[in-house]
Structure 1
Amino acid sequence: MNFKRMLTITKKEFIHLKRDKASLAIAFIMPIMMLILFGFAVTSDVKNVKLVVFDGDKTKESRALIEKFANSNYFQVSDIVNNYDKVEEYIDKGDAKVGLTIPDGFARDVRRKEAPKVQILVDGSDPAIARTAAAYSMIIANNFSLTISGIKSSQPFKLGLIDARARVLYNPMLESAKFNVPGIIGLILQNITVILTAFAMVREKERGTIEQLIMTPVTSLELILGKLIPYVLIGFVDFLFVLALGYLIFDVVVRGSLILLIFFGLVFLISALAMGMLISTIAKTQLQAMQAAFAILLPSILLSGFIFPRESMPKIIYYIGNLFPITYFLEILRGIILKGIGIDLLYKNMLSLFTLTFIIVLITMHKFKKTLD
């Protein structure tokens, strides 16, 4: 072994790394980015859960109970509605995870010590949030009961006055599969299509066939569509296949419109394919394409709400999660599959998904033309 020759090879490799800007970015910038993003995003804590309130009593006592929820670290009152049906509508749309309903006569029953009933509606489509939110709600209601009944913490434990009852919507048994399977469907659709298309154009570059394609009468639009059509078909078949497997293996039934679900699946498929094509136009090698795909896919998984509740994330991390199409597609998947809701309650997620898809396709077209030039 010649030590000098080994040092020469080492020096040559450092020079190569210095010239390879993409590898340098992966080596030094990505660890910092991952630490900051995931350090804040990866948390099992449940806090700032959106709460919608129906106050049928509108008294000092009912407002005090609402303030008790609002002042806790666990809930964030998103709205106070004047109709019980609005509470379920908010939860259907995903604008709230928990609903608090206070009946008429609440204050009267409190004064008479007749244990007024309070209903707590919980979105069971996410079992982790549902269990914790229901438990927190019971604790807050019981603490409020102890306060108004004059029981001190030093005294033996006694039941409070308020009879708080939780009702879990959409997933009464809080089965994890009901929450995970729709998310996995979106994840499979994204990961497969992004990875496959990320290598599409890079493979042409590495083999030297891209120059031959440029010399042909084929336009850039025809080339993009010709490249994407096979992956659209593959992604669509995969989508239907995992939907069927979700039903056969995990008993996850599509409660809403299957046609609407397929339509949104195609829209999301286009956005995922465009992301993959964008990566392939930027990357020069298949290794760079793999690194770029990894840099996009991992944050999208963790920041989209697939695993961790987005409400518990810091605001800036929450807004970064809004930049990924899968964030809105997961809400659509769980809304149609678990809740059985339609486009009238999904229009916000629909518009966000359409907008992001349009922007990604536009950037991809622009970048692709520049690459051909």
Structure 2
Amino acid sequence: MNVRRLWAIVVKELRQLRRDRITLAMVVGIPVIQLVLFGYAINTNLRGLDAGIVDQANSAGSRALVMDMLATGVVAPVARVNTPQELMAMIRRGQVGIGIVVPPDFERRRIDGRAVAQILVDGSDTAVQAAAAQLMQVPIDSAAPDTRAPATSTPVGGRISMVAFYNPQRRSAVNIVPGLIGVILTMTMVLFTAIAIVRERERGNMELLIATPLTSSELMIGKVLPYVAIGLVQTSVILALGTWLFAVPILGSVVDVYLASGLLILANLALGLLISTRAQSQFQAMQMTFFVFLPSILLSGFMFPFAGMPKLVQWLAEILPLTHFLRLIRGVMLRGAGLREMWLDVLALAVFTLAMMALAILRFRKRLD
């Protein structure tokens, strides 16, 4: 082995890495991203969960009990409604994850030692269900007595009960399988289209496309459409296996499931096309896809609770299509909600798709350079 020739190869590789900005960015970027995400953004100790409150007693004791629950920091009130039915509708639409219900006979229940309040939980997220259990530890005796009630020597007691909807057994498969639809579609759809234009260049097909009367819009949209069918096939496979092997329910409309999946497919395909207009090789396209996939799977709420992330990270996660899709698919499959009830997430996916497709079309040029 000749040391000079070996050293020449080492220098050549280092110079090539220096010119390859994407690879150089991954060398530094991947450790930084993982350190920031796992150290700052990922938090399994949930605090400040969105909660709705129904206080039908409206007494000094019931108000004190609600304040004690809020003082734990587990929940943050975002809505006060009049009936438990309104609260259930908000949970089904995904507007709140936890509901606190105090019945009108709160004082009598406390004297009798019965359940004085009920915690309603969206069990489709097992992490929220576990965090809500902390509210059951709030002491009832600390609640101020109702001065309007007659004095009594009966000991004050009572307890707080919890009811988990949509996944009372806390089966992890019920929570994971719907999310896997989004994760798999994100990984495959972005990657497929990210290498679409690059592959045409590397195989020499771009010269043929340049000679055709195709416009940039026709070429980009034509690249996308075949993968829509592939994405829907993947969705069908995951749904079939999820219901057969893990008994995952589909409480909502199957049509809404496919419509939500179609929105995510289009969003990811448009993002992949935008990446393909920037990448110079298939390897670069795969590297850039990894930069998108890593934050998506960590910040969307698939692996770690979305509610446990800092507000700044939550705002950044709102840009990711997978974040909105997880809300839609879990709402439809596990809570029986309709897409109309979750129209904000539908709108977010549609706007993202149009923006990414427009940018991809603007960046694409039918020329070899």
Give the alignment's TM-score, normalised by structure 2. 0.91
Distance in 2 between residues matched to 1:355 and 1:192, nearest whole Å: 21
CA contact (8 A) 1:54 1:82 kept: yes
Matched to 2:130, the amino acid is: R
Paired residues, what number? 360
Deviation at 1:211, TM superposition (A): 2.8
Query: Does residue 46 in structure 1 map to residue 42 in structure 2?
Result: no
Call closer, same or farther: CA 1:218–1:240 in 2, change over 3 Å: same
Look up the match of 2:349.
353
Look up the match of 1:35.
35
Q: Which has the higher helix share?
A: 1
Query: Does residue 228 in structure 1 map to residue 218 in structure 2?
Result: no
Distance in 2 between residues matched to 1:69 and 1:241, nearest whole Å: 43
Deviations 1:233-282 (A, max 9, x none): 11111112211221111112311111122122112111111111111111
Deviation at 1:31, TM superposition (A): 2.1
Look up the match of 1:23.
23
Look up the match of 2:167.
171
Range that drifts further, 317-326 or 68-77: 68-77
CA contact (8 A) 1:92 1:345 kept: no
Query: Does residue 218 in structure 1 map to residue 217 in structure 2?
Result: no
Within 5 A, what are the aligned runs for 1:1-373? 1-107=1-107, 109-110=109-110, 112=111, 114-115=113-114, 117-133=116-132, 135-140=133-138, 143-145=139-141, 161-369=157-365
Structure 1: 5+ residue stretches without partners: 150-158
Call closer, same or farther: CA 1:8–1:77 in 2, change over 3 Å: same
For residue 54 of structure 1, give the secondary structure of its aligned residue in structure 2: strand
Matched to 1:136, the amino acid is: Q
For residue 141 of structure 2, give the secondary structure of its aligned residue in structure 1: helix
Distance in 1 between residues matched to 2:262 and 2:91, nearest whole Å: 26
Distance in 1 between residues matched to 2:34 and 2:262, nearest whole Å: 30
Range that drifts further, 236-245 or 100-109: 100-109
Matched to 2:63, the amino acid is: R
Matched to 1:7, the amino acid is: W
Look up the match of 1:156.
none
Deviations 1:317-355 (A, max 9, x none): 111110111111111111111111113421122122222
Call closer, same or farther: CA 1:102–1:126 in 2, change over 3 Å: same
CA contact (8 A) 2:74 2:131 kept: no
Range that drifts further, 193-202 or 113-122: 113-122
Distance in 2 between residues matched to 1:116 and 1:10, nearest whole Å: 73
Call closer, same or farther: CA 1:173–1:259 in 2, change over 3 Å: same
Give the alignment's TM-score, normalised by structure 1. 0.90
Call closer, same or farther: CA 1:298–1:162 in 2, change over 3 Å: same
- The percent identity for this pair of structures is 37
For residue 44 of structure 1, give the secondary structure of its aligned residue in structure 2: coil
Structure 2: 5+ residue stretches without partners: 146-154
Distance in 2 between residues matched to 1:261 and 1:306, nearest whole Å: 17
Deviations 1:107-131 (A, max 9, x none): 4554x46545211111110123213
Deviation at 1:372, TM superposition (A): 7.3
For residue 125 of structure 1, give the secondary structure of its aligned residue in structure 2: coil
Distance in 1 between residues matched to 2:235 and 2:260, nearest whole Å: 11
Matched to 1:307, the amino acid is: M
CA contact (8 A) 1:41 1:308 kept: no
Deviation at 1:95, TM superposition (A): 1.6
Matched to 2:267, the amino acid is: S
Call closer, same or farther: CA 1:192–1:63 in 2, change over 3 Å: same
Distance in 1 between residues matched to 2:289 and 2:309, nearest whole Å: 24
Call closer, same or farther: CA 1:105–1:27 in 2, change over 3 Å: same
